[in-house]
Amino acid sequence: EILNILTHSKEVTEPHHLRTRRIGATVAIEAHIRVDPRMSVLRSHQLTVDIERQLKERFGPNTLISIHVEPIETEKLSSSDSEKDKNI
List the chain pLDDT tens, one digit each, 88 residues: 999 999 999 999 999 999 999 999 999 999 999 999 999 999 999 999 999 999 999 999 999 999 999 999 876 666 545 555 555 5
pLDDT, residue 82, reads 54
Domain count, the chain: 1
Quick one: CA torsion of 62, 68, 69, 70, rounded to 10 degrees? Answer: -160
Domain containing residue 77: CATH number: 3.30.70.1350
pLDDT, residue 23, reads 95
Query: Could you write out the DSSP letters of every residue in the chain?
Result: -HHHHHTSSTT-EEEEEEEEEEETTEEEEEEEEEE-TTS-HHHHHHHHHHHHHHHHHHH-TT-EEEEEEEEPPGGGS-HHHHHHHHT-
Sheet of 26-35, strands arranged across = 13-23, 26-35, 64-71
Domain that holds residue 39: 2-86
